[in-house]
Structure 1
Amino acid sequence: MKQMIKTIFNIFNTHRKQHPIAMGLSIFCAVLLISSEIWFFFAAPPAENWIAQNLNSIKINHSNAYAFAVFGDNKNSHSAFPELLSKVSQDPALGFAMDLGDMVFDGEMGKYQYVLSQIHKNMKIPLLTAIGNHELHEKGRGLYYKLFGPFYYSFKIGQDSFFVLDNANEENLDQWQHQWLEKELEKAVDDSHRFVFMHVPLFDPRGGKHHHCLPPESARSLLNLFKTYKVSHIFASHIHSYYTGNWEGIPFTITGGAGGELVGKDPKHDFFHYLKVSIKGADVNITVVPIATPDFEWLDRAGSMAWIYLYAIIRLHGIEIAIFLLMAYALAVAFEVKKTRNHD
């Protein structure tokens, strides 16, 4: 190890003397890269106790007649998601919104900063969140908890109860969350409505080879609990499409069209959208609100989805990429000059 470090130092020292400008530029770029990482590490978080603050901001004038929006899987979308937020904010009937998870491509701080800046810029009503499996990547649960708060929680509006769950592990609810949920549902048994929000659906409505859902045993356990306490509606995402139906008497809607990649091309299901849920007394009306979506030719859609992530990477790490390329160019110039001199 010592010999390797010594060899690297000797090579660096030789090039520094022969090509001081190029090597100086490389060192400067390296310092900038390290500084940017240090800044991200020590910078103040873009949010703190987000869920609690937004819960306190919900203002519903008539608790028996109100509306809210539901969507999921924006995954650092650069165009569809801001459009969705703006459209939601322009609807005066909506009192709050629920993001069902996979807000970011992974749980890196920079990606949270990006999505939260989109929300601050385009969202005018309180936004609540559920944790998705992509939030578990990178810094995972610790960073999500620091920014947003609890992984699962409940709240009430009038005589309606809302339950936000954490099944981001794509496996099950842990025993503590399961016990908590059963107690909360029991307390709400006489409420007008009981709405459940979670990232991963109980079952995959596409059937066949598709299993983008909880394992059968976990799904059955939860469904039995929901049937026992007569849950009014289940909202999930994870599948980047729109589906609605009935799971053994429990109405469900899958809404995964907030801007992440669309894997299918069925115009009935695979499009960008959000849900508008309107409550009026005992009635619950769910409207699907579409957002501009690439057409259904596979080449156009594949190109659009690839651009979503390429653009997001450039927006999130553009400065670091530029510095790295400049450093690489300076090193390449230095080595090329040496090669030319040796050849001469």
Structure 2
Amino acid sequence: MEKRTVALGISVLVILTGFIIVVTIINPFRSPPTISVEGGHVLHIESDSAIVRASSLDFMIHLSWNGSYDLGVFHMNVTNIIPTQLNVESTTDYLFIRNTSISTIIEINPTNLDVSLEFSTVDDSTPLNFFVFGDSQGFQGGIEQIVSDANEFHPDFLLHCGDLTPFGQKNQYESVSSALSKSTVPVFTTPGNHDIRLGGLERFDDFFGPTRFSFVYKQVLFLSFDTSSGTVSQDDIVWLENTLSATPYEKKIAITHMPLFDPRPGGNHSLIDSATASAILAIFEEYRVNVLFSGHIHMFSLVVKNDVTHVISGGAGASLYASPENGGFYHYTNVTIRTTGFDIGPIELEAPSFQNNMLVVRGIDEDVTLSINDLQQLTKISGFSSFQNQYDNWRGYGEYIGVKLSNLLDIVGGISSSAKIRIIAHDGFGQMFSYDNIYPNESWYSKQGDMVLAYEYNGTKVPEWHDGFRIVMMPEDEAYSNSDCQQTSPPGMGYHLYPSAGARWVRFVLLIEVIV
């Protein structure tokens, strides 16, 4: 009996072993395909699935496997599309598995190692309608209002004209991506100059895909090109002209970040390279581009120049560059295109309400809104310090962590030696500082040390630290006295107006502004 049991056990083991061998031969571990996307990018890939985000309404996906042993059922979650109007031309059979408002899951079971799927969006019978906005710069409140309106009124898509972030960090892209992901219509973006800072261009590509794209929808050609560096590459200029010269469509719309000219009298906050701007203007005029939408200047403006309408929609959250009557109000732009023409008009948004964990840094030509999370991405400085009040009493001793004022001002273009810095608190209190406070010479440095915007005190960060953000002077002796203050206050500033070192340590900082 024992021999039979042993023999049976050996037989089962052999059978199971053989089964395992057969299974291993038939279904080895699959390697993921190589995927390239024209008009989009890959967000995630595994051996049997991938997530692809479209950056236009017309795009193509190419998949390539190494060998036949890698083939099998493969699922693609394609996002940022209009699923109900999606048309697919494929070199293999496909099946729609599940749709949401802006995505679809497609199943393919390829028999060839190379597969291509070409996607286009079929027109419907309604007039083309979309929202345009720009320069949210990390303030997601404006985006939340725009997305709420989009989810209620259902435009065909949204266009963000750049400066989605304060300075292009991963956490900033995650924040704006999360806010935009609530939209039930597709969102297309172009990078702004803030988005490419500190390695931000690569992160833009990771989150939003190519910096240029084109598509045709409802008989209108859309082109988006990159001006985030202050100029336009020769490759992009050639692409613009070739795309425009080849299109049979009468209506044409271009999207970018920086306008080709500043419509304000005496303004120069536009494309830095004027020769390139003139060349693109000539191309747009030659090929009869109807509208160029841009941001960068924080206002609404509509100007017609040589039959091209130039619309600036830079009011999604960053601080404004004009008075309300001159276009300085928070807004997005609602655009409807009918056979009879274009309807273009701003829709006002509620003004941002900043808590004590956000502040604005404003340069001569640009500004940025920063949160406590943004500040923590910058090079930090820490040290102990204290100040003397008007009664010669010492206050505030402890360890401060923050960012040098010089590093903050670099984000908005730096300052000249003749410039002044105005710092305003939430309660309206303000102080003026000079270039020498920001970049002290050896004599001033021995008395003042580094000038720092602190966001943490003795281990407590803003917003729990209720005095922050706070200006802090960090001399080596850890004591900023009234005498030190007197010797580091330029004429007409600081000690000469109010004899207190403590008054220079502005609490509840809301605005840091360069003045010339």
Q: TM exceeds 0.5?
A: yes
Deviation at 1:282, TM superposition (A): 4.4
Deviation at 1:211, TM superposition (A): 3.6
**3-state DSSP of counterpart to 1:251:** strand
CA distance in 2, matches of 1:87, 1:278: 15
1:289 to 344, 347, 367: 347
For the 8 Å contact 1:64–1:279, the answer to whether it is kept is no
Q: TM-score, normalised by structure 1?
A: 0.70
Q: Is residue 279 of structure 2 the alignment partner of residue 225 of structure 1?
A: no
Which residue does 1:32 correspond to in 2? none
Output the amino acid matched with 1:109: K
* Residues 316 and 208 (structure 1), Cα distance of their counterparts in 2 relative to 1, 3 Å cut: closer
Deviation at 1:218, TM superposition (A): 1.3
Output the amino acid matched with 1:255: S
Output the amino acid matched with 2:216: K
What is the percentage of aligned positions where both structures have the same residue? 25
Q: Is residue 128 of structure 2 the alignment partner of residue 66 of structure 1?
A: yes
Which residue does 1:20 correspond to in 2? none
Which residue does 1:117 correspond to in 2? 178
Q: Which has the higher strand share?
A: 2
Q: Is residue 173 of structure 2 the alignment partner of residue 169 of structure 1?
A: no
Q: Is residue 195 of structure 2 the alignment partner of residue 135 of structure 1?
A: yes
Residue range with higher mean Cα deviation, 56-65 or 243-252: 56-65
For the 8 Å contact 1:80–1:292, the answer to whether it is kept is yes
- The equivalences for 1:1-344 within 5 A come to 49=53, 51=55, 53-55=79-81, 59=85, 62=124, 65-92=127-154, 94-121=155-182, 123-171=183-231, 173-188=232-247, 190-293=248-351, 306=360, 309-310=369-370, 312-314=371-373, 329=459
CA distance in 2, matches of 1:304, 1:326: 14
CA distance in 1, matches of 2:274, 2:252: 23
Output the amino acid matched with 1:130: T
RMSD: 3.3
CA distance in 2, matches of 1:95, 1:229: 25
Which string of whole-angstrom CA distances, capped at 9 and with x for unpartnered residues, describes residues 181-240 of structure 1? 11100112x313100001000000003143433432111100000011000111111001
CA distance in 2, matches of 1:200, 1:58: 34
Alignment length (residue pairs): 272
Which string of whole-angstrom CA distances, capped at 9 and with x for unpartnered residues, describes residues 275-298 of structure 1? 111111241111211111379xxx
Q: Which runs of 5+ in 1 are unaligned?
A: 1-43, 331-344
Q: TM-score, normalised by structure 2?
A: 0.48
Q: Which has the higher helix share?
A: 1
CA distance in 1, matches of 2:352, 2:80: 32
Which string of whole-angstrom CA distances, capped at 9 and with x for unpartnered residues, describes residues 81-127 of structure 1? 312221232213x1101001000111110001111111223x22110
Question: Which has the higher Rg, Structure 1 or Structure 2?
Answer: 2
Choose between structure 1 and 2 for higher RCO, CA contacts under 8 A separated by at least 6 residues: 1
Deviation at 1:267, TM superposition (A): 3.4
Q: Which runs of 5+ in 2 are unaligned?
A: 1-43, 46-50, 57-78, 86-121, 362-367, 381-400, 402-454, 461-516
For the 8 Å contact 1:58–1:95, the answer to whether it is kept is no
Deviation at 1:265, TM superposition (A): 2.6
